[in-house]
Amino acid sequence: MRHAESPSALTLQDYAAGVRAGDRAVLARAITLIESRKEEHRRDAHELLQLLLPETGKAHRVGITGVPGVGKSTLIDQLGGNLTAHGHRLAVLAVDPSSVRSGGSILADKTRMRRLAADENAFIRPSPTAGTLGGVAGKTRETMLICEAAGFDVILVETVGAGQSEVAVADMVDFFLLLTLPGAGDELQGLKKGVVELADMIAVNKADGDNVERAKRAAAEYTAALHILTPASPDWTVPVITVSGRENAGLDRLWAEIERHRDTLQASGELAEKRRRQQVKWMWAMVEDRLKARLTATEAARGKVAEIEAQVGAGRLTATLAADRILGLFER
C-alpha cells in the first residue's frame, strides 16, 4: 500500500475512507494533495480521484459570477445559510486572485463568509488561481469531485469575475448565475455579450433601501436585452430577478429557479448530456496542459523553447514555423 508523502502520511485508502466519512480534516488534506504541483502528489491525487469516482456526480453544481463589489460573498453567505438550514450540505469553492509578482493570494473568504465559516454543514475552500486562465483555479474541478464524495450535495463555485473565468466556470457547473448591480444603464452597455449568453439566470443584487426601484428598472432592461440573444437551451428561458443578499430578500425564489432549471434539464435529458460534454472538454484541457508541461520538463527543452520564443519576439521567426519547431521538440 503506497503512502502519499507530505502534506500527510495517510495512505490513499485512508484518504478515501476519510473523505467518504465526511472527515473535514482529511477532506482538507485531500484537497491540498490535489493542489500540489509535486509529481508524486499528482499521481496519488489521480489514483484517489479514481477511487472516489463512484461517489461523485450527485451534487447540484452552481457557478456564481459578477464584477468585484457586486456582493457575491454576502449573497453566498446568506444563501448558504438558508440551504444548510433546510438540510443541505454545502461546499463553497471560492477562487481567489493570485498575486502576479509573489504568487500569493488573499484567501479571505472565511472572513467574508462569517456565517458559513461557523456552520458545521458548510465547507469553504479558498483556492488561489496561480495564474491559470481567466482566474479559475486549475484544480477546481477535482476539488468539486472530492467534495461530492464527502457528501456535499450543493457545490457553489464563486469566480473572481474577471477575464475568461466565467467561461471556465460555466464549463464545470450545471447552473450559471450572473449577479449584477442596480442601475443597468452604462453597465448594460458595457456588459460582455458572451457572459450574458452563459447565464442561466440574472439576479440584480443589492435590491434594498433606496435601490429597490433602480433594481427593478435594471431587471427590466436586462430582460429586454435577453430577447435579442439566442438561449443556451431550447427548454429554458433565462429569468431575471431582483435580490438582496444583505436583507435575505428574493433568495428563496433564486434557489427555487435553480431547482426548476435542474428539474427541467433532467426531464429533457439535457443535464446528463451537458455533463458528458463537460467531461470530454475537461479531458482535452488536461491533455493540452500535460503536453505543454512535458515540453518544458527538462532544462534542455526549456532552453530550446525559450530560444524559439526569443526568435518569434524579435521578428526573426514566424509563429507558424515556431509552433512546428516546438512540436518537433515534443516528437523527438
The pLDDT score that the predictor gives to residue 80 is: 97
Domain that holds residue 48: 1-55
- Give 3-state DSSP helix, strand, coil % of the chain, rounded to 5: 55, 15, 30
Same domain, residue pair 124 and 171: yes
% of residues, the chain, pLDDT over 70: 84
Q: How far is CA 119 from CA 60, 73, 80, 105, 267, in A?
A: 19, 15, 9, 24, 33
**What mean pLDDT is reported for the chain?**
85
Map 178-203 to HEC letters.
EEECCCCHHHHHHCCHHHHHHCCEEE
Higher pLDDT, 288 or 152: 152
| 274 inside domain | no
Same domain, residue pair 141 and 216: yes
For the cut 60, the answer to whether the pLDDT of residue 8 exceeds it is no
Same domain, residue pair 206 and 293: no
Q: How far is CA 123 from CA 51, 179, 242, in A?
A: 22, 22, 27
Is 200:177 a contact under the CB 8 Å cutoff?
yes
The pLDDT score that the predictor gives to residue 143 is: 93
Same domain, residue pair 44 and 84: no
Same domain, residue pair 17 and 116: no
The pLDDT score that the predictor gives to residue 129 is: 57
Same domain, residue pair 161 and 220: yes
Chain centroid offset of residue 20 CA: 22
| Confidence category of residue 144, pLDDT binned at 50, 70, 90 | very high
Same domain, residue pair 42 and 76: no
Q: Record the cell numbers describing residue 106, joined without a space.
A: 488573499
Same domain, residue pair 302 and 327: yes
| 4 inside domain | yes
* Strand 154-158 versus strand 201-204 pairing type: unpaired
Q: Record the cell numbers describing residue 127, joined without a space.
A: 483556492
3-state secondary structure at position 116: helix
The pLDDT score that the predictor gives to residue 109 is: 54
Is 70:161 a contact under the CB 8 Å cutoff?
yes
Phi, psi for 90 (deg, rounded to 5): -120, 135
DSSP 84-103: HHTT--EEEEEEEPBPTTT-
Least confident of 15-19, 44-48, 102-106, 205-209: 102-106
Q: Record the cell numbers describing residue 209, joined without a space.
A: 433601501
The pLDDT score that the predictor gives to residue 5 is: 45
- Total domains in the fold of the chain: 3
Same domain, residue pair 192 and 217: yes
Q: Record the cell numbers describing residue 98, joined without a space.
A: 493570485
The pLDDT score that the predictor gives to residue 112 is: 76
Rg (CA), the chain: 22
| Confidence category of residue 283, pLDDT binned at 50, 70, 90 | confident
The model's pTM: 0.86
What CATH number did the domain enclosing 80 receive?
A: 3.40.50.300
Closest CA to 250 of 274, 285, 216, 293: 216
* Counts for the chain of helices (H) and strands (E), in that order: 15, 7
Neighbouring C-beta atoms of residue 297, cutoff 10 Å: 12
Task: Give 59-99 pLDDT, tens digit per residue.
Answer: 999 999 988 889 999 999 999 999 999 999 999 998 755 54
Q: Which residues contact 61 (CB under 8 A, 6 or more apart)?
A: 144, 155, 157, 172, 173, 174, 175
Higher pLDDT, 230 or 100: 230
**What distance, in Å, lies between the first and last C-alpha atoms of the chain?**
36
* Strand 175-180 versus strand 90-96 pairing type: unpaired
Same domain, residue pair 79 and 171: yes
| 157 inside domain | yes
Same domain, residue pair 47 and 62: no
The pLDDT score that the predictor gives to residue 66 is: 87
Q: What is the mean pLDDT of residues 34-55?
A: 91
| 67 inside domain | yes
The pLDDT score that the predictor gives to residue 84 is: 98
Q: Record the cell numbers describing residue 219, joined without a space.
A: 431587471
What CATH number did the domain enclosing 12 receive?
A: 1.20.5.170
Alpha-carbon distance of 247 to 207, in angstroms, equals 9
Q: How far is CA 54 from CA 172, 185, 294, in A?
A: 18, 48, 30
Same domain, residue pair 84 and 233: yes
Ramachandran class of 114: left when φ > 0, alpha when ψ lies in -120 to 50, beta otherwise: alpha
Residue 90, beta-bridge partner list = 122, 154
The pLDDT score that the predictor gives to residue 136 is: 54
For the cut 70, the answer to whether the pLDDT of residue 323 exceeds it is yes
Chain centroid offset of residue 170 CA: 8
